[in-house]
Structure 1
Amino acid sequence: MTPEQWAQAGCLIRAGVPRQQVAIIYDAGLSTLYRKFPVLG
């Protein structure tokens, strides 16, 4: 993914879009998204 795609994916996740849906949109692995954008709290 490009840096711009990572930034957009982060915005979607922060906006409440499920990581699974973001993974489908960007054809990325779910574990990759959790690694890049961990669940905090």
Structure 2
Amino acid sequence: MAHKPSAPVANPIEQTGADYLQTHRIPELFHNLSASLVYNKP
């Protein structure tokens, strides 16, 4: 699933999706952790 950076991308929509995931991965992860802490209190 991982694309080589030097490889040409055939589908620009795929590239946009990859860029979106790369940009939002950390905030999404943080949000998910925060939500799990809030909703699953010990």
Structure 1 length normalisation: TM-score? 0.36
Structure 2 length normalisation: TM-score? 0.35
Which has more radius of gyration? 2
Tell which has more relative contact order, 1 or 2 (C-alpha 8 A, sep 6+). Answer: 1
